[in-house]
């Protein structure tokens, strides 16, 4: 599905309506316990999301329906604006029925930005530019010069640059394979990823300063890795956050993870359980589903934060409770 022309990204049914919708979104996120950091709250209050989603797609009767900020129908323009400030993910680029890019759910973005634990003066690499909204929030917090965002698709990066400029931000937006990072602007204090991974690219820890944090979707969760230097090279390790998270896959040089196996014959209480499917996704290709079920039930149906990932020079693995314990599974890398 081709992208419509983007003329005036700022065309909305009135700035007051957009401001009111944005403040309502912030109140909703705060009511859920998010945006406790005043600096991030200010970013969400002041960065206009509608500038980054001049059009998006919603499910319709006959496939996807496009909502557009310059639709000649005022009712549809109002619907577009309302959706732009809903606490929901928005599909911003679809091709041949496949979702290629989206604007993540704002409350999840707020959670991830808070977990990134940035400090004044930090430099951040974002993998997966999308429409540019997350890069704008980072730029508001840290300044545009501190932010680098990488995406594989030149149409996505071109649109993101326009959106960012219209909002007054000019971070470095680079067209390239996110799995390779962006060495020309390294080193980084933080890396934040907005697409799910098959493994952790070695280039990311290599482009980090010691003590840096990498926050990325993995399986159906969010892994937070701390980077440290060793004699053999950078080493990253950390645990998953409690929250579930679902993102489009990272596109580029990394091979995709094996699909989940057929689960016929396993109990419905397990196959429909989010935490069991998280374990299956995390260990795809390494753990037989029947063995996974036995482990999951024996260990008391572990929450995500009991799992972690270690990235060492030349190898990486997922683990339950202890990176050197009995329950570990190799990851590609």
The beta strand positions in 110-263, using DSSP E, are 124-127, 147-151, 172-175, 188-193, 208-218, 221-230, 233-239
Question: What is the Cα–Cα distance from 97 to 250, expressed in whole angstroms?
Answer: 17
Question: What is the Cα–Cα distance from 234 to 231, expressed in whole angstroms?
Answer: 8
Note if 101 is an active site residue.
yes
Question: What is the Cα–Cα distance from 240 to 223, expressed in whole angstroms?
Answer: 4
Distances (CA, A) of 7 to 4, 120, 190, 267: 9, 35, 34, 53
Candidates 101, 104, 166, 224; catalytic one:
101
Question: For residues 242 and 302, is the Cβ–Cβ distance under 8 A?
Answer: no
Half-sphere exposure of 173 (CA within 13 A, CB side): 27
**How far, rounded to the nearest angstrom, does the alpha carbon of residue 36 sit from its chain's CA centroid?**
20
Q: Note the helical H segments in the chain.
A: 15-31, 38-46, 74-84, 106-116, 133-142, 154-166, 203-206, 268-271, 274-282, 289-298
Determine the angle formed by the axes of helices 15-31 and 106-116, rounding to 10 degrees: 60
Helix (H, G, I), strand (E, B) or coil at 206: helix
Neighbours of 118 (CB within 10 A): 21
Half-sphere exposure of 208 (CA within 13 A, CB side): 28
Question: For residues 69 and 83, is the Cβ–Cβ distance under 8 A?
Answer: no
Question: What is the Cα–Cα distance from 236 to 219, expressed in whole angstroms?
Answer: 18
Distances (CA, A) of 318 to 102, 223, 240: 28, 11, 10
The set of catalytic residues is 101
């Amino acid at each position: 599905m081709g992208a419509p022309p983007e003329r005036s990204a700022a065309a909305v049914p009135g700035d007051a309506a957009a401001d009111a919708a944005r403040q309502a979104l912030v109140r909703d996120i705060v009511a859920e316990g998010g945006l406790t950091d005043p600096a991030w709250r200010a970013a969400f209050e002041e960065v206009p999301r509608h500038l980054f989603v001049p059009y998006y797609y919603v499910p319709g009767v006959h496939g996807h329906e496009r909502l557009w900020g310059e639709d000649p129908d005022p009712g549809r323009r109002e619907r577009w604006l309302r959706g732009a400030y809903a606490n929901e993910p928005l599909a911003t680029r679809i091709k041949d029925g496949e979702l290629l890019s989206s604007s993540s759910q704002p409350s999840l973005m707020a959670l991830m930005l808070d977990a990134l634990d940035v400090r004044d003066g930090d430099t951040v690499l974002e993998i997966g530019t999308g429409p540019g909204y997350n890069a704008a929030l980072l730029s508001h917090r840290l300044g545009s010069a501190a932010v680098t965002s990488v995406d594989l698709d030149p149409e996505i990066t071109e649109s993101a640059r326009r959106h960012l400029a219209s909002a007054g931000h000019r971070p470095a937006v680079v067209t390239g394979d996110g799995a390779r990072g962006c060495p020309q602007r390294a080193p980084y204090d933080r890396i934040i990823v907005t697409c799910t991974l098959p493994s952790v690219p070695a280039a990311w820890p290599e482009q980090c300063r010691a003590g840096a944090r990498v926050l990325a979707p993995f399986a159906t969760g969010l892994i937070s890795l701390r980077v440290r230097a060793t004699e053999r090279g950078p080493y990253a390790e950390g645990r998953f956050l409690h929250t579930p998270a679902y993102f489009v896959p990272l596109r580029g040089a990394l091979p995709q993870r094996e699909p989940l196996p057929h689960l016929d014959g396993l109990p419905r209480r397990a196959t429909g359980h989010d935490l069991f499917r998280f374990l299956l996704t995390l260990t795809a290709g390494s753990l037989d589903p029947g063995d996974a079920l036995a482990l999951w039930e024996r260990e008391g149906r572990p929450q995500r934060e009991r799992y972690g990932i270690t990235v060492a020079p030349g190898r990486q693995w997922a683990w339950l409770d202890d990176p050197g314990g009995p329950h570990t599974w190799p990851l590609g890398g």
